[in-house]
C-alpha cells in the first residue's frame, strides 16, 4: 500500500524517517515523505492508504482522522513525543486520550512504561511496544551516519560547548499571546509554563555570559525551532566566542562537542545513547512539576551557577590523555532507557514487519502533473500564513531537500548494505520512496 509520512521538524525527524522509508520501500510499500500540507493534500486525493501519524493534537487531529477514514485510509500512530514527560504524565495522557484508541487502527509505543500507563485506555486499536527508530538509529550507527557533518563542525569550531535550549513557551517566535491561545486548552497551567520558560531563559543567558568570559571555548547555542532567536542575538551581541546556530541535526553537534548543557531536553537522552553524559542546568528552587524528568536522569544536574562553572573546568582543561568522551558509559546502568525507550529493540524492522503483515494491497495511487501544480499552491499558502508562521515553517524544514535526502539515503545504504531505493521528487516538500525493479 501507499504510506503517507508527514515530517514537521527536519532536525529531529529527517534521518530516521528516511531510514524507515527505505526499509518500507524495500518491503514493497510506496512511501510518501512530505511536510504536513503536502501529506494532507494526498489524504484529500488518495484512496486506501496508511497514514503514519506523528502524534495526536486536540482540536486538530480528529478532523484529519475523519478525512482519512472517509478515504478508506488506515491510521497508524508513531508519536514523536511518546517517552519524555512531566512527573504527572500529562503529555502522554494528552497525546493518547481514551477516544483515540477507538479511532486509529494501530499504535506503536516507545516502551513498557507507556504501555502500562495507557493500558486502561486501550479499546479497538492494536497496540504494540516497538521503541522508536530515532533512538534505534543512534544505537546501531553510533552516529556514523553524521560523519561528514561532524567533520565540518570540528573543522570550523574545534573545541566548543554546545548549549541546547527548549524555551518554546516563554520565548516563542509567535509571542506570548499566540502561546496562550494555542496551548491553553492542552496545558491548564500554561501561564505558569510561560513564566518558568522566561525564568529559564534569563538563567541561561546569565550562565552563558559567565562561561564566555571565563573560557576561550566557543559556545554554540541551538535554540528550539519554535524559539525567537532574536532574543539570543540581542543578549550576546558583540561577543566573539558565542554562536547561535540551527544548522544540521543536533546529533552531529552532540558528537562533536566537548560537553552539552541543557535545561531538560530530550537531546540529553540522545547524547547518553551516543556515550556522552550531558549537563542539566535549571534555576534554583525550581518547581519539579514543570520539568521533564528523564533528561535529568541522563545528566549531571545543577541549579547553582558557581558549582556548574567549577564542574566545567574538567572539560575546559582536561587531564593529559583524557578525551572527555565518556566512552566508559554502560547504558545498562540506566534502567529507564529500556523501560521507556525499548532501546534494545529493532524498532524499524518491527514496524516494517507488522505493517507488511497487516496491510497488503497491490493497488497504488497515482500522482499527476495537476497534483504537482495544486500541491505547489498548497505549500505556498502554508508558508505565507500570518503570525510568524512563515519563519517557523522554514526553520522547521531546514535541510528537507532532494539533495540532502538522496545523500542521506546513500549513506544509509552503505551502513546497512541494502539495495538502492528510488527517490523521486514530486514537489518541493514531497518525495516518493519506491523499490527499484
pLDDT in tens, 236-249: 999 999 999 988 88
Residue 19, pLDDT above cutoff 80: yes
Residue 222, pLDDT above cutoff 50: yes
C-alpha cell at 2: 501507499
Whether residue 115 sits in one domain with residue 9: yes
Q: Domain range holding 412? A: 2-136+340-435
DSSP state of 159: S
CB 118 within 8 A of CB 109: yes
Whether residue 194 sits in one domain with residue 322: yes
- Three-state secondary-structure class, residue 284: coil
Please check whether residue 146 lies inside any domain of the structure: no
Please check whether residue 222 lies inside any domain of the structure: yes
Residue 132, pLDDT above cutoff 60: yes
Whether residue 383 sits in one domain with residue 258: no
CA-wise closest residue to 18 among 353, 423, 378, 397:
423
Whether residue 380 sits in one domain with residue 404: yes
**What pLDDT is attached to residue 164?**
96
**What pLDDT is attached to residue 355?**
95
Residue 396, pLDDT above cutoff 90: no
Whether residue 82 sits in one domain with residue 55: yes
Q: Tell me the mean pLDDT in the region 53-60.
A: 90
- Read off the pLDDT band of 380 (50, 70, 90): low
Domain end point (choices 334, 369, 399): 334
Residue 386, pLDDT above cutoff 50: no
**What pLDDT is attached to residue 274?**
92
Mean pLDDT across the chain? 89
Residue 323, pLDDT above cutoff 80: no
CB 303 within 8 A of CB 285: yes
CA-wise closest residue to 94 among 77, 81, 76, 107:
81
Please check whether residue 145 lies inside any domain of the structure: no
Residue 62, pLDDT above cutoff 90: yes
C-alpha cell at 200: 529559564
**What pLDDT is attached to residue 372?**
66
Residue 285: Cβ-neighbour burial (10 angstroms; 0-12, 13-18, 19+): exposed
Residue 433: strand pairing partners: 31, 423
pLDDT in tens, 327-373: 568 888 999 999 999 999 999 999 999 999 988 776 778 777 667 66
Domain end point (choices 285, 317, 334): 334
Whether residue 303 sits in one domain with residue 162: yes
Residue 374: Cβ-neighbour burial (10 angstroms; 0-12, 13-18, 19+): middle
Whether residue 305 sits in one domain with residue 204: yes
Separation of alpha carbons 301 and 291, rounded Å: 12
Please check whether residue 149 lies inside any domain of the structure: no
Separation of alpha carbons 200 and 226, rounded Å: 16
pLDDT in tens, 25-34: 999 999 999 9
**What pLDDT is attached to residue 125?**
77
Whether residue 175 sits in one domain with residue 264: yes
Domain end point (choices 306, 334, 362): 334
CB 299 within 8 A of CB 311: no
Whether residue 381 sits in one domain with residue 313: no
Please check whether residue 148 lies inside any domain of the structure: no
Please check whether residue 190 lies inside any domain of the structure: yes
Whether residue 305 sits in one domain with residue 226: yes
Alpha helices in 53-145 (DSSP H): 61-70, 90-95, 100-103, 112-118, 133-141
pLDDT in tens, 146-175: 888 999 999 999 889 999 999 999 999 989
Please check whether residue 248 lies inside any domain of the structure: yes
CA-wise closest residue to 429 among 3, 5, 2:
5
**What pLDDT is attached to residue 387?**
46
Whether residue 255 sits in one domain with residue 208: yes
**What pLDDT is attached to residue 214?**
92
CA-wise closest residue to 190 among 98, 262, 94:
94
Residue 358: Cβ-neighbour burial (10 angstroms; 0-12, 13-18, 19+): middle
Residue 273, pLDDT above cutoff 70: yes
Q: Domain with 376 in it: what CATH number?
A: 3.40.50
Whether residue 299 sits in one domain with residue 183: yes
Residue 87, pLDDT above cutoff 80: yes
* Secondary structure element (H or E) that encloses residue 311, with its range: helix 305-316
C-alpha cell at 58: 486536540
Q: Tell me the mean pLDDT in the region 367-395.
A: 62
pLDDT in tens, 306-316: 999 999 988 87
pLDDT in tens, 184-214: 887 889 999 999 999 999 999 999 999 999 9
- Three-state secondary-structure class, residue 78: strand
Number of domains comprising the chain = 2
- Three-state secondary-structure class, residue 208: helix
Please check whether residue 330 lies inside any domain of the structure: yes
Least confident of 259-268, 312-321, 376-385: 376-385
Number of continuous H segments (helices) and E segments (strands) in the chain: 20, 14
Q: Domain with 266 in it: what CATH number?
A: 3.40.50.2000
Residue 62: Cβ-neighbour burial (10 angstroms; 0-12, 13-18, 19+): middle
Residue 320, pLDDT above cutoff 60: no
CA-wise closest residue to 261 among 295, 216, 215:
295
Cα 16 to its chain centre, rounded Å, is: 10
Amino acid at each position: 500500500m501507499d504510506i503517507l509520512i508527514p515530517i514537521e521538524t527536519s532536525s529531529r525527524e529527517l534521518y530516521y524517517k528516511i531510514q524507515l522509508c527505505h526499509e518500507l520501500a524495500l518491503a514493497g510499500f510506496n512511501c510518501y515523505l512530505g511536510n504536513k500540507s503536502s501529506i494532507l493534500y494526498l489524504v484529500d486525493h488518495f484512496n486506501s492508504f496508511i497514514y503514519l501519524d506523528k502524534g495526536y493534537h486536540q482540536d486538530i487531529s480528529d478532523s484529519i482522522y475523519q478525512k482519512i477514514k472517509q478515504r478508506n485510509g488506515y491510521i497508524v500512530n508513531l508519536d514523536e513525543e511518546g517517552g519524555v514527560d512531566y512527573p504527572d504524565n500529562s503529555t502522554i495522557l494528552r497525546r493518547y486520550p481514551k477516544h483515540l484508541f477507538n479511532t486509529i487502527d494501530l499504535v506503536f509505543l516507545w516502551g513498557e512504561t507507556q504501555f502500562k500507563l495507557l493500558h486502561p485506555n486501550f479499546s479497538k486499536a492494536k497496540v504494540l511496544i516497538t521503541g522508536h527508530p530515532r533512538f534505534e538509529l543512534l544505537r546501531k550507527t553510533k552516529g556514523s551516519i553524521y560523519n561528514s557533518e561532524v567533520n565540518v563542525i570540528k573543522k570550523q569550531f574545534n573545541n566548543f560547548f554546545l548549549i541546547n535550549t527548549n524555551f518554546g513557551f516563554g520565548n516563542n517566535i509567535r509571542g506570548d499571546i499566540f502561546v496562550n491561545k494555542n496551548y491553553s486548552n492542552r496545558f491548564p497551567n500554561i501561564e505558569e509554563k510561560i513564566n518558568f520558560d522566561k525564568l529559564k531563559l534569563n538563567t541561561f543567558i546569565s550562565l552563558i555570559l559567565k562561561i564566555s568570559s571565563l573560557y576561550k571555548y566557543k559556545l554554540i547555542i541551538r535554540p528550539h525551532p519554535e524559539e525567537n532567536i532574536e532574543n539570543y542575538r540581542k543578549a550576546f551581541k558583540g561577543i566573539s566566542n558565542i554562536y547561535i546556530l540551527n544548522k544540521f541535526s543536533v546529533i552531529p553537534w552532540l558528537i562533536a562537542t566537548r560537553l552539552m548543557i541543557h535545561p531538560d531536553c530530550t537531546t540529553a537522552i540522545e547524547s547518553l545513547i551516543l556515550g556522552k553524559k550531558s549537563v542539566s542546568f535549571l534555576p534554583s528552587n525550581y518547581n519539579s512539576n514543570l520539568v521533564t524528568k528523564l533528561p535529568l536522569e541522563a545528566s549531571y544536574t545543577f541549579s547553582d551557577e558557581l558549582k556548574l562553572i567549577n564542574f566545567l573546568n574538567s572539560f575546559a582543561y582536561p587531564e593529559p590523555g583524557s578525551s572527555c568522551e565518556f566512552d566508559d558509559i554502560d547504558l545498562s546502568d540506566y534502567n529507564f532507557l529500556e523501560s521507556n525507550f525499548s532501546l534494545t529493540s529493532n524498532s524499524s524492522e518491527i514496524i516494517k514487519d507488522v505493517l507488511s503483515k497487516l496491510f497488503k494491497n497491490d493497488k497504488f495511487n497515482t500522482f499527476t502533473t495537476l497534483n504537482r501544480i495544486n500541491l505547489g499552491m498548497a505549500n505556498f499558502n502554508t508558508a505565507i500564513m500570518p503570525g510568524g508562521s512563515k519563519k517557523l515553517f522554514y526553520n522547521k524544514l531546514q535541510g528537507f531537500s532532494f539533495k540532502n535526502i538522496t545523500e542521506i539515503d546513500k549513506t544509509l545504504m552503505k551502513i546497512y548494505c541494502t539495495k538502492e531505493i528510488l527517490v523521486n521528487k514530486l514537489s518541493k516538500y514531497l518525495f516518493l520512496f519506491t523499490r527499484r525493479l
